[in-house]
Structure 1
């Protein structure tokens, strides 16, 4: 044991530091085995009581929803009371030794390790605090208007989201790993803090307006800045471990082509104002890339995304043909509402569930639909003017939209047992409409084609409520149930 002795004829005082962390919860003041044997009385002192009471006094503690055992007692007592929302760790222990026959006294100093005061009606300003053992501080969903300087060298998680805070201090928190401050009113620019251990940064849905270039957070993995008013360019940061980057619903106008993050699996820049060509990003770990509602132009690069599952560039101004991607893990592919031309791509995606090329300028044959797990298919509002060169063998498909094209010729083999909505109006399809075993069909819209016969839809699809088939070559008998 380390420490110093102060002695005279009556007593000695030894200060001993115990490193092991013992958390006290729910009025449990058990320490297990005796530190010095049978002849020691134990007392307690909450060393950080004054700092805790600063929080209570500055944030309207008398009006807190949960305030059991607040204010915190700073006196030396034979037992201590657990204050609502506070967890302690054993810090220094003072041993006051007396000559026999008296028993020695051990004063166990309790230090604050966790503060949990979420949703507790805290108001006003959170004061400056010095809490040397604090690791977790949670003040979310209150009415705190500002935050003072925090001196907490061991603090790892700080949660202040859902407060009307307008500005953050320049944090100097060497151990901070997680900062949650979404849903506040924080404005200005995201700047460099002295938080070298930072891994998670959530400042979504604030009023941030700018991003500083060259931010250096070497351990940062998760960034959520969505729902702000950030303008200008998304710059390059030194964040080599970045895995998650969400900047959706801002006002960004450009994005750096240097964002080559080896570990990035989620990248969302949807609902911004980003213009220009799509950069040829190198994201070998990417699983979800979302860039809808922007102003991207030009052709898509031939991305090499072997792990991609979700790819969304809906509602841009993309042109040119779609590359023949080979993405074996792809589940969702949406390029609708663009100006893409050329033929149907030869997309290798055996797990694809949703395929949306609605409202583009695709031409040629309808082909390359080898997707056995497909659940939604939208090819409507294109300029497909060839024939159907693929089978419609989709046992899981529920919605099939291919209207407003100029497809010609007969329908292929069709098997759609789960389909509920099937639209193919405004084409030039001919011959017999196939018996596709559409027993769950609710809506079939096929007007303005050249079909000359129908299967027994009236009895084969009991939930059918709309069959629109005018401007074909059908007879009235084609609409009646077939007699057995």
Structure 2
């Protein structure tokens, strides 16, 4: 193995110059002059190399043991963050027959997804390029793949069902493309698949059942998905984070939610009906919950008060009615509570003043009445509070002035005449 420090003087490294023998370059030591046929790993990252010599990749292909080539963060395999352009095949990566990791992120390669790479490939990262066309059915030939990252490209076709045959795949990242068609149900066969992200990719159909069977992280946000959320989608035991926001999902929330969930985002859909209390009570690990900008109705369940790990609760822009549950004051870890633009009535409970870590409180544009609780003076961390657009009366409590105004600012107060 040869590893070359970023502190080396590489200005004289030039195969086309007068000194063509790399073993005589500054900082390079060869155990046998001009013979490095046993090379397994070459790392020249974090230097100032500006080009890859003609035939370099092909010649590397003769090194039968070469498994890792890192050229990243030069001015040019990790060859990410360079300025490579043109067709993927022009660079001769297919000559690296023992390659296991290939990172070409943040370049300008414009071609179809390559299909002639080493079958030993474990990690394929070609995000933030200009790849186009479809993911080929032949992707199943790469049985060692654990990571595929083709996000932020111009892929514009359906996902092949053969993806489900990659039995070792752990992460499939395809976000910010122009994919279409339906999700292949075969993905549920991959027992090792823990992360699937295909947000911002223009999917327009429904989600097949079983797709989260083995997943921990799912991101389908900012698509055009429709239909109801499958009953089993949010209940799978390994789920940690799910983002379905900014789609066109309709119908009621699933009645069963996984108790392993830490982050759940369902905002900006067309969901209706009530929030099931039994499902909410099981979310003891939840820290982040968004159900905003839907058409949810009925009361806000007091069961939310049992989510003692919750940092953010966003239920804004729905059609919730009834009172603001005093039980919300039990969520000692809560930092953000956004309940604006609903139809809440009654008085603001004193218990809200128990939320000592609260940074943002927005309960504006409801139909709340009564006075502003003096207990709000206990909200020592508060930086933004909005109460406008209600039916509050009385005076602003003098105790509010006890808040440290040099650090915190209270915004958008409203007291009708």
Q: TM-score, normalised by structure 1?
A: 0.70
Q: Which has the higher helix share?
A: 2
1:274 is aligned to: 203
1:439 is aligned to: 380
2:139 is aligned to: 215
The alpha-carbon deviation at position 322 of structure 1 amounts to 1.4
Instruction: Tell me how far apart the structure 2 counterparts of residues 419 and 25 of structure 1 sit (CA, whole Å).
Output: 50
Instruction: Tell me how far apart the structure 2 counterparts of residues 189 and 160 of structure 1 sit (CA, whole Å).
Output: 18
1:123 is aligned to: 51
1:461 is aligned to: 403
Q: Does 1:297 align with 2:239?
A: no
**1:455–1:61 CA distance, 2 compared to 1 (3 A):** farther
1:480 is aligned to: none
Q: Is the 8 A contact 1:337 1:358 kept in 2?
A: yes
Picking from 84, 87, 108, the partner of 1:164 is: 84
**1:380–1:337 CA distance, 2 compared to 1 (3 A):** same
2:120 is aligned to: 197
Q: Is the 8 A contact 2:48 2:75 kept in 1?
A: no
Q: Is the 8 A contact 1:25 1:82 kept in 2?
A: no
Q: What's the secondary structure of 2:332's corresponding residue?
A: coil
Q: Does 1:328 align with 2:271?
A: no
Q: What's the secondary structure of 1:259's corresponding residue?
A: helix
Which stretch shifts more, 111-120 or 339-348? 111-120
After the TM superposition, which residues 205-354 of structure 1 pair with which residues of structure 2 at under 5 Å, given as runs? 205-210=128-133, 211-216=135-140, 217-236=142-161, 237=163, 238-254=165-181, 255-260=183-188, 261-302=190-231, 303=233, 304-345=235-276, 346-347=279-280, 348-354=282-288
2:8 is aligned to: none
Q: Does 1:374 align with 2:310?
A: yes
1:451 is aligned to: 392
Q: Does 1:422 align with 2:347?
A: no
1:470 is aligned to: 414
Q: Which has the higher strand share?
A: 1
Q: Does 1:136 align with 2:68?
A: yes
The alpha-carbon deviation at position 233 of structure 1 amounts to 1.0
Instruction: Tell me how far apart the structure 2 counterparts of residues 377 and 286 of structure 1 sit (CA, whole Å).
Output: 24
**1:160–1:465 CA distance, 2 compared to 1 (3 A):** closer
The alpha-carbon deviation at position 249 of structure 1 amounts to 1.1
**1:88–1:241 CA distance, 2 compared to 1 (3 A):** farther
The alpha-carbon deviation at position 190 of structure 1 amounts to 1.7
The alpha-carbon deviation at position 364 of structure 1 amounts to 0.8
Which runs of 5 or more residues in structure 1 are unaligned?
A: 1-22, 27-54, 63-69, 74-80, 91-106, 145-157, 474-484
The alpha-carbon deviation at position 430 of structure 1 amounts to 2.9
1:358 is aligned to: 292
> What value does the CA root-mean-square deviation take over the aligned residues?
2.9
Which stretch shifts more, 222-231 or 445-454? 445-454
1:179 is aligned to: 102
Q: What's the secondary structure of 2:400's corresponding residue?
A: helix
Which runs of 5 or more residues in structure 2 are unaligned?
A: 5-12
The alpha-carbon deviation at position 251 of structure 1 amounts to 1.1
The alpha-carbon deviation at position 172 of structure 1 amounts to 5.3
Q: Deviations over 1:214-261 (max 9, x none)?
A: 422211101110110111112222211110111111111233232112
Q: What's the secondary structure of 2:225's corresponding residue?
A: strand
